[in-house]
Every structure is written in structure tokens, then in C-alpha cells.
A and B are shown apart, each in its own frame.
Chain A
Amino acid sequence: MTLIKIDRQTWVDGIEKAKSAYRVFGPVKENNDHEFKLLAKGEMPDFNCQNTRMSPKAIIYPQSQIMFTYSLDESKDDCRIMKEVENATSPQVAVGVRPCDALAFPIVRRNFDSPEYQDTYWIKAYEATTFVGLACNAACSTCFCTSAGTGPFGETGLDILLVQDGDTLYAKTLTPKGEALAASAGWSSPAASDVSARLETLKTAAEASVTAAVSTDKLKDKVLLDLYEAPFWEEEAFSCINCGTCTYVCPTCWCFDVQDETHGKSGIRMRNWDSCMFPLFTHHASGHNPRHNNYERLRQRFMHKLKYYVDKYDSGIQCVGCGRCIRLCPVNIDIRRICDKMNSFDAKSCACDVASS
């Protein structure tokens, strides 16, 4: 680990230099929000934002991705034979990834890169990417990263962590990938010896600015079926319109659909982000749907993040506390409230209530 000082001009020059060796993604302003985009020559990442509207997951896992091509031309030898799309990704950098979003990549990796099956599309893109984080000096009111496995200066999932102090950036290289990027960008001035202490002060202040929190300590010990059958799901889902916004903006939601699309005699097999909020997600061809009611779909989303994932991997919750689903939910469903209800749920006291009423 090295601590590097980057002044304004070195930063701008470095990003341009990096673009000759990498495809560089960063947050840019789009209408009223910031989104991660591939930066054109001369275009700089805009750090004048907190969380982007969409998470940066699409840099590794595009919302729509071609997997195969095929021909339906009977005169061709390869008619009806699926051909893999060349998906070896050239080196790329995601600059300005907030620590919450950075933690999402190792979480999602557990799904795409398991001992049994390796999702070649996701893994190749992930391995080709250098993650440059940007520490948060102040949290949003919906942020709860400090109780979701990271913090405003969290380093998990990152190759470099940047800290902004006025006009100066400090870069902490965390991995060989990060060192290679710093070298390529020409960021090499060591920070003064007192900077570490200064960054600790900023970190402490940033952590103090995170005022929201969730309790997750008891989730693992709850009986799965007790939580599944808890009485609060229908009440929580009452206002849910199953729009799916929470799943699309979530950095840790990974579900997808696979669709074929034919134009004339050729076509593509692609995958598209999908959502457990949609009835079609689980709809059997017979017409039967195991999650027919909207409360069943809402329950699936929260049980997956806060119980199924917790039980399966024993590595915390499948949520990084970015707060996007809270900010963007049109009916104010709040994962913090639901998480606390789940964590404090007592099936026994609940049964007594029913018995005595």
C-alpha cells in the first residue's frame, strides 16, 4: 500500500494518460442525476455527486448483453448452431466508485463465480476491471453502509481508494492492479508523512455522518420458515406496485432473463436484467405461479437479501447500504425498516398474540 498525492493537473493528465491503456468509466452528470459512463477523450469523471442514480454494476454486467449469435439460414453449415460472442474484455477502469458500490462486486461474485459454474461473461469483465474508489466525506440521509459491511472509507473490492481533501486527491493503492493503473496514469508523488493522520480525521468525521443503521446480528439465527411466515409481509407489501425500481438500481441484485431475438435469418441470444418483483419471473408455462401475490414477491426480495443469502454464504447481508432503493421507491418502502423487523422478529411472541386475541 502506498499513499500518493495527486494535484488537480496531475489528476486530469493522469486520466487522459490512462485512457490510452484502459477504457475509463466514471460518473458524469446526465439531466438531474449522475450516471457511470464511458468517458470520451477530454471528458473527466465528475466527483460533484454522492451516489449515482444507477449503481456501477452495468460496467461489469450490462443491462442487456449479447451471449450468442445464430443463423437460421438452412443453406449455411452453421444453421441453428449457437456461436459464442467474443467477450474477452479489454482493460477498463471504473473511477469514482463509492465504497458501498465497491463492496457489491465481491458480493455478486459469489453468484457468478461459484465452485461449480463460472459465468464467463461476468468474470472476464470483472477481471479486466480496475476499481478506483472515492471515499465519501459526508453521507446521504439514506446511507447505512457502516452497518452493512463497509463504510464511507471502505476498501473492500477496490484497487485504489481516493480521498478528496479540498482540491487535492490522495490515492491509496491497495492491489497490484491499482499500482499498475497509478503507474500508467503517472500518479507517483508520495504524500507527506502527516497525511495519514489527516485522512483518519476525515474518515472518522465521515463515519459519524452516517446516521442511519440496520441491525443484522440476529438474522442468521432466525428460523427461515418463521421469518417467511412472519405476519408483516402483507402489510409491508400493501403499497408496493411491483415496479422493480429497487432491483434495477440495486448494486447487489443480479437476476437475469435470457431471450432470443431473430431478425430475418440471423439472431442473438441475450440476457437482460430481470426482477423478482415481476409476476412473469416465476410464472410456469402451465399457468401456475409459485409467487402469484405481490407480497410473495416483496418477501422474496427481502428474504433473499437478508436471510437466504445470509444463510447460504455466512458473509453478512446481500446489501451494501447505498440507500438507492429507499430514495427511489415510489411508495417509500424502506429496507432498513424491514431489516429491523426481521432482525427483531420473535415467532413465539407472535404466536402468543394470535392465541390470546
Chain B
Amino acid sequence: MQNPYLPYPVRIDEIITETEDKSLKTFKFVFINPEDEKKFAYESGQFGELSIPGLGEIPIGIASSPMEKGFIKFTVFKTGKVTSSLHAMKEGDIMGVRGPLGHPFPWKTLEGKNIVIIGGGFAFTTLRSSIISILDPVNRPKFKDIHVIYGARSPGMLLYKDELQAWAERDDIHMNITVDGTNDPNWKFLTGFVPTITEQKAPSGSPDTYAIVCGPPIMIKFTQPVLDNLGYSHDNIIMSLENRMKCGIGICGRCNIGSSLVCKDGPVFTLSQLNNMPKEY
């Protein structure tokens, strides 16, 4: 019997400060035991528990893609005890990772479909993973049109800026990068809130079109009516939830929403599923 609470030891290989306010950093981890990387076989949309001995664990979405080998990446917002300590760590430090945990986005269902990826703020991490996976030459033919609508407060608050730039130059993905506002005269992308840009740029709903929506509650609240107007069925709107977690494997009992556990049954749910669940998130 494998102990499901035992983290894999990892070394911090690289730390990238993502945003101008330094509240978001991306941590690239390398497994100390190479065989652990195979056990950590994941798909975009899943999460891991980052473990710092002496402080505890935090559930964080996996930002790297399974198409990227030799490491895993997590982008972490500095907010509580563990994340603050993580932000103070340095390259070369040893810590732990458990996972992969939860369900990924429904990739089998999404095959052959149009996908609209809608993200806001720092909830773009598993969406980055998804885009890297989709754009991989092995996978791109499996999907039809790909639209991305990604917004942040300001240009300096966008994650993965170099990759966004590179994706914007491609012709096999429609990138709509937006900021709430900016004084930068050289800003060459969009200005406006995510719901507004979605209204303008997202394709109409159809049985073959799925929206994946990740963002702060306020963005989700105002994006949903837009998708309704565009004709998206609630079965075709996919969301990823967060709740306070400890075990990450459906045992410790705190992350439930009705009969479902966000860690084990989620974090990915369709809007149809959420409509029949209490709003305890």
C-alpha cells in the first residue's frame, strides 16, 4: 500500500518572477528521484500539493504541460503562510510535491471541438498548461478553432508574457490579450474587462464549442451571462474551482460542495454540474 500523503522530494530548479508587483512567481521543480516523474503523470487541469516541511502544504494548479518533460511548474500567488515562505525560497532548495491530484479538463470530450479559453488574473496557470498541450504539433490537429481571452489588471500583471507574445504571432490560435487599463503608449493588445472582450471576440455557442473559464469570482459572475447570450449550453462551459484543502485526495473532508469534493471529484466541473450544487465556494 502506497502512502498517499507522502510527497515526492523535488529541487527548485528555477524561480521566475512573473508580475511587476512580484506577487506571482513560477517555480520549476525537478524530481530528485527520476522515477517519481513517471509516477507524476498528469494532464492539464490537474493540481498538486506543494509541501514545505515545517510549514505545510498548499494545493496549486499545474502550470506546466505534460508535453514538457524533465520538470513541473507551478505559478504561485503570495497570500498565506506557505505561499509566502515559498516566495522566500531560493533555487536549489529541496521541498516536496504530491500529485497529480483531481480531474483534468475533459480532453477526450474536447477532441474535435472548438475551444474558447477564458482566463483572468492569476487563474491562468492550468490554462497555460492547456495551451501548451493543445499547440503541441502532436495535439493541435485534434482540435478545431482555439480562441483565448486572457485579461489582467495591467500589462505588468500578465503572466507568461513571452509566451503570450509568441502565441499572438501564430495563426493557429486566436489570442485576445486584454488589460483593464494602461498608460503604456506601446500597448498593442486590447483594453477592457474580460466579459466585454468575450462578448466581442468569442465565437457563438454551438454543440461543438466549449468554453473553459478560470478567473476571479467577479470575472466569472459577469462572463457567464455573456456566454449565455452567445448561446453556450451549460454542459459546454467548463470551470475549475478552489476551496481550502488539506489532503487533496477526498479524505480530510473540508473542500466539499454538497456531495462532491473539489479535490477528488473536481476541481473541474461543468456549469451544468455547478447549477445543481450548493454555492459553497
Interface positions of A (Cβ within 8 A of B): 67-68, 70, 72, 79-82, 84, 111-112, 114, 116-120, 123-124, 224-225, 228, 254-260, 262, 267, 269, 271, 274, 276, 281-286, 290-291, 296, 300, 303-304, 307-309, 311-312
A interface majority secondary structure: mixed
Are A290 and B54 touching (Cβ within 8 A)? no
- Taken residue by residue from 1 to 31, chain B's Cβ proximity to chain A (1 for < 8 Å, 0 otherwise) reads as 1111111010000000000000000000000
Which of B64-72, B130-138, B242-250 forms contacts with chain A? B242-250
CB distance from B61 to the nearest CB of A (A): 15
Shortest beta-carbon contacts, A-B, top 7:
A255-B253, A285-B80, A70-B53, A290-B280, A308-B259, A117-B249, A80-B94
Are A81 and B79 CB-contacts (below 8 A) given A260-B53, A290-B280?
no
Residues of A within 8 A of B281 (CB): 290
B41 → A minimal CB distance (Å): 15
Contact with A along B247-259 (1 / 0, CB 8 A): 1011111111111
Does B96 sit within 8 A of A, measured CB to CB?
A: yes
Q: Is the CB of B250 within 8 A of A72?
A: no
Q: Are A286 and B79 in contact (CB under 8 A)?
A: yes
Q: How far is the CB of A63 from chain B (nearest CB, A)?
A: 14
**B240-281 contact mask (Cβ, 8 Å, vs A): 1 or 0:** 001110110111111111110000100000000000111111
User: With a CB–CB cut-off of 8 A, which chain B residues contact A303?
Assistant: 258
For B5, B9, B80, B281, the residue with the greatest tally of chain A CB atoms inside 10 Å of its CB is B5
Residue of B nearest to A69 (CB): B53
Q: List 25 A-B contacts (CB under 8 A).
A: A67-B5, A79-B94, A80-B93, A80-B95, A81-B32, A82-B6, A82-B51, A84-B6, A116-B249, A117-B4, A117-B264, A224-B277, A228-B258, A228-B278, A256-B251, A260-B55, A260-B56, A274-B254, A282-B243, A285-B83, A286-B79, A291-B280, A307-B259, A309-B259, A312-B259
Contact between B95 and A225 (Cβ–Cβ < 8 Å)?
no
List of A residues within 8 angstroms of B54 by Cβ: 70, 72, 260, 262, 267
B54-96 near A? 1/0 per residue, CB < 8 Å = 1111100000000000000000000110010000000001111
Q: Name the one of B6, B96, B256 contacting A304, with C-beta atoms under 8 angstroms.
A: B256
Q: Which residues of B contact A285 (CB under 8 A)?
A: 58, 79-80, 83, 244
Other-chain residue from B243, B253, B257 in contact with A276 (beta carbon distance below 8 A): B253
- Not counting A80-B94, A120-B3, A258-B56, a sample of 15 additional A-B residue pairs whose C-beta atoms are within 8 angstroms of each other reads A82-B6, A82-B9, A111-B250, A118-B1, A118-B2, A120-B4, A124-B1, A224-B258, A256-B253, A258-B246, A258-B252, A269-B5, A282-B255, A290-B257, A290-B279
Chain B nearest CB: distance from A332 CB in Å? 25
Asked, given contacts A82-B51, A267-B53, whether A283 binds B244 with beta carbons under 8 Å apart, the answer is yes
Residues A258 and B254 in contact in the complex (CB < 8 Å), given A80-B94, A224-B276: no
Contacts of B5 in A (CB 8 A): 67-68, 258, 269
CB pair B252 A274 closer than 8 Å: yes
Partner of B94, one of A81, A257, A282: A81
Known A-B contacts A81-B94, A82-B51; A256 and B280 likewise in contact (beta carbons under 8 Å): no
Are the C-beta atoms of B247 and A258 separated by less than 8 Å? yes
- A4 to B157: give the CA distance in the assembly, Å: 75
> How close is A89's CB to chain B, nearest CB, in angstroms?
13
Interface centre among B244, B254, B264 (most CB of A within 10 A): B254
B243–A256 contact, CB under 8 A? no
Q: Which residue of A lies closest to B95 (CB)?
A: A80
CA distance A84 to B250 in the complex (A): 20
The chain B residue sitting closest to A280, CB to CB, is B244
Looking across the interface, which residue of chain A has its beta carbon closest to that of B98? A82
| B93 surroundings in chain A (CB, below 8 A) | 80
Q: Does the CB pair B253–A254 fall under 8 Å?
A: yes
User: A117 is contacted by which of B6, B83, B250 (Cβ under 8 Å)?
Assistant: B250
- B3, B247, B253: the one contacting A84 at CB < 8 Å is B3
